[in-house]
Amino acid sequence: MYDLHVHILPGIDDGPETIDESFQMGKIAYESGTHVLVATPHRKDVKEFHSLNKILFLTKKLNNLFLKNNIEIKLLLGMENHMSLDLVDDYINGFAITINRTRYMLLEMPFFGSPNYIFPVVYKLIDLGLKPILAHPERIEMFQKDIKTLDELIKIGLLTQITAGSLLGVFGDIAKELSIYMLNKDLVNIISSDTHSDSGERSPRMNDGINFASQIIGLEKVNKMVVETPLKVIQDKPIT
């Protein structure tokens, strides 16, 4: 499996604090069937308190650690980019990066509220040749309140990533209901873990969520969401 939304770099955002925990997260992911992870630290934290060099260095360091310990997992670099007015400039200036330097950008909408610059910023990203992937739309209030905005964003070409834990109710009943609705309506492209720690409900284990999704839409479709489509993303291939 491929996990495109992972907070695994130590001491960068609200993910793990130590490299030991990062290593454990990789080990758990590997043991539960994931072979490629994309580290997606929050842009705000990287930009304000760290640097691109630092996250590149940590990604390399973790890959070496996995290799040394025979954990056959590959860690790639991306970023979770929150929607903001400066996102386009940050991309142009190298502060906002895409998944594995492809056209695919993990984009997080505000959890609450619906600022009026969402569509203008999205259109500018598309004009730059980018293909945004909406991070966990099932957890975003504006989509929970009104599915029309989500439909509209999908219609203009955005992809969607739901979080495995949402299907199990980790983020509440509304997120669970919306993720199930999205599965049934064919509105999901990718399932990821959005892991933040080596234990608890936000561990890298996606199996329970994936089994749950399989019961609803079948294994073949779920396979597409955790293998075929994420593979195309990291290879920068088009997704139809």
Footprint of Fe ion (CB under 5 A)? 80, 194
The nearest distance, CB 127 to Fe ion, in angstroms, is: 25
Indicate the residue among 80 and 198 with the shorter CB distance to Fe ion.
Answer: 80
- Tell me the C-alpha distance between 119 and 94, whole Å: 22
CA distances from 64 to 11, 56, 60, 80, 195 (A): 18, 12, 6, 23, 21
Indicate the residue among 129 and 142 with the shorter CB distance to Fe ion.
Answer: 142
Which H or E run contains 38?
A: strand 36-39
Indicate the residue among 23 and 171 with the shorter CB distance to Fe ion.
Answer: 171
The residues facing 163 across adjacent strands are 192
The residues facing 159 across adjacent strands are 133
Indicate the residue among 201 and 217 with the shorter CB distance to Fe ion.
Answer: 201
Q: Are 193 and 166 in contact (CB under 8 A)?
A: no
The residues facing 2 across adjacent strands are 36
Indicate the residue among 172 and 184 with the shorter CB distance to Fe ion.
Answer: 172
The nearest distance, CB 215 to Fe ion, in angstroms, is: 25
Q: What is the DSSP letter of 195?
A: B
- Tell me the C-alpha distance between 73 and 31, whole Å: 10
Indicate the residue among 21 and 221 with the shorter CB distance to Fe ion.
Answer: 21
The nearest distance, CB 197 to Fe ion, in angstroms, is: 12
Helix/strand/coil (H, E, C) string of 110-173?
CCCCCCCCHHHHHHHHHHCCCEEEEECHHHCHHHHHCHHHHHHHHHCCCEEEEEHHHHHCCCCH
The nearest distance, CB 196 to Fe ion, in angstroms, is: 7
Q: Are 119 and 142 in contact (CB under 8 A)?
A: no
The nearest distance, CB 49 to Fe ion, in angstroms, is: 17
- Tell me the C-alpha distance between 144 and 56, whole Å: 35
The nearest distance, CB 80 to Fe ion, in angstroms, is: 5
The nearest distance, CB 233 to Fe ion, in angstroms, is: 16
Indicate the residue among 24 and 81 with the shorter CB distance to Fe ion.
Answer: 81
